[in-house]
Amino acid sequence: MSAAIAAEDWTRLLDRLVSDRVRIADSVVSALRTRIPSYRRLSLDTLAAEVRTVVELALRYVGKDRGTVATDSSAALEAIGRLHAHQGISVQDLLHARRTVVQLILQRAQDVSSELELNSAAAIELAQTIFAWSDSATVTITRAHDHVVHELVNSELERRSAYVRGVLHGTLSPEETLDGARAYGIDPRAEYVAVRIRCAGPATSTQAQSRLPIEFSAIPGLYTRIGDDIAGFLQCSPASDDSSTVGVGPKRRLERLAESFRLATRAVETASGFGLTGVHDYSALGLRMTVAADEEVGDILTRKYVQLLADSNSGDELIASLRAYFECGMHVETTAERLFVHQNTVRYRISRCEELLNVSLRDLRTVFELWWALERDAFEKRCAKTDLPQPQHPGANSKVRVKS
């Protein structure tokens, strides 16, 4: 306190404000209910008790505590911040309320100073001290408020994520499925496609919505994180997106979405294994789904064809030429253009493959098996290079691998 301020004036001002604390609190309550709509939702008794506490803490800071915030004062302010978070009071409204408290305390201080003919320096010193208290109180209250809001948001996100995972894995009861649909604004009678999105890097639960390709954002549905992927369901199949790899399952009702998600998972694993980006419907991947999933058949055909070629002289060159030959529809001219070699070179290499394998590429079954072996070999090499999981054959004794 400034030496120029008479101790008597300061004491008289503070004593009068403490005496008028109920009057000040009542004026604050009235102002809050008039100025801030969210405070009208609170019961009058609850709001009045809170405001009386805040006014008393402010006056205590000015007087008894001499500019320091006591531990019990901080605890009381934190309790107010937590309570308001649970009551749905926003941070903006909290700040507005603190300003209102300060304004009305200072307004009463001016009235008392005039009434008692006190030195104006006392009111000025009081204002400076009250503003300092307001700054400290605001930090304490908003920190506690934000902490609770963060917990509530995470709790809601986890409940939503648990619902999405339950729908996709088929672990919810019909009642739980229906209740969740109502809670999250999902039509329980509609059909949805399951999607599994593999981005460039792992996604957290809180990033799931922000990491969605922009083409997906406008489509009604729910998402969450499963493993390192984003997974969910949409009312319609998304448009193409080249920034990620997306597997899409068939349309199903909510209670049967596990079927769609199983195929969406196979689709994204298959597409990722073949180095494909964009959106891939499970049916559009065709035989590649089986090539990726059936490891036993793939191993047999790889040993029968690819390994024999790889062990020969110029094995890599022969395999690359054969793969290009199939990709070009078995047209020598197109294959030669792609490989930048003479047509006779292509013919020689294909003939050499037939000789080493003791087969004829005029035989459709041989062509089919060779194509399968080459695709499986490419799939395995990419999975090994990028550390991708290989889908398991969905037979009687195995299930498609689902990261969770």
Contact 5, 119 (CB under 8 A): yes
Domain 7-153, what fold?
Globin-like (1.10.490)
Under DSSP, the state recorded for 189 is: T
> According to the model, what pLDDT value does residue 204 have?
47
**Furthest-apart CA pair in the chain: how many Å?**
115
What is the amino acid identity at position 345?
T
Quote the CA–CA distance of 17 and 13 in Å, as a whole number.
6
Scanning the structure block, which residue is given the tokens 């964009």?
A: 278
**Helix, strand or coil, per DSSP, at residue 271:** helix
Per-residue CA distances from 283 to 154, 250, 280 (Å): 37, 9, 8
Q: Report CA 379 to chain centroid distance, whole Å.
A: 30
What is the C-alpha R_g of the chain? 36
**Helix, strand or coil, per DSSP, at residue 6:** coil
Q: Report CA 111 to chain centroid distance, whole Å.
A: 54
Quote the CA–CA distance of 176 and 166 in Å, as a whole number.
9
Quote the CA–CA distance of 166 and 175 in Å, as a whole number.
12
Contact 248, 282 (CB under 8 A): yes
Token code pair at residue 43 = 């019961």
Reference 129, options 5, 237, 31, 216; nearest CA is 5
Reference 374, options 308, 282, 281, 286; nearest CA is 308
Per-residue burial over 176-185, b = 16 or more CB atoms within 10 Å of its CB, e = otherwise: ebeebbeeee
Dihedral sign, CA of 137, 139, 144, 150?
A: positive
Angle at 194 between CA 279 and CA 175, to 5 degrees: 170
Do 292-386 and 7-153 have the same topology in CATH? no
> According to the model, what pLDDT value does residue 383 have?
82
> According to the model, what pLDDT value does residue 289 have?
87
Reference 109, options 4, 2, 16; nearest CA is 16
We find that the CATH architecture of domain 292-386 is: Orthogonal Bundle (1.10)
Quote the CA–CA distance of 193 and 265 in Å, as a whole number.
12
* Residue 365 CB coordination number (10 Å): 8
**Helix, strand or coil, per DSSP, at residue 3:** coil
> According to the model, what pLDDT value does residue 326 have?
94
SS3 content of the chain, % helix, strand, coil (to 5): 65, 10, 25
pLDDT profile of the chain (404 residues), mean per 10: 61 88 93 92 88 91 66 86 87 92 91 84 83 89 89 84 93 93 90 88 49 56 86 83 85 95 94 89 88 90 93 91 94 94 94 94 93 91 70 39 33
**Domain range annotation of the chain:** 7-153, 179-285, 292-386
Per-residue CA distances from 280 to 122, 215, 247, 263, 283 (Å): 75, 14, 5, 11, 8
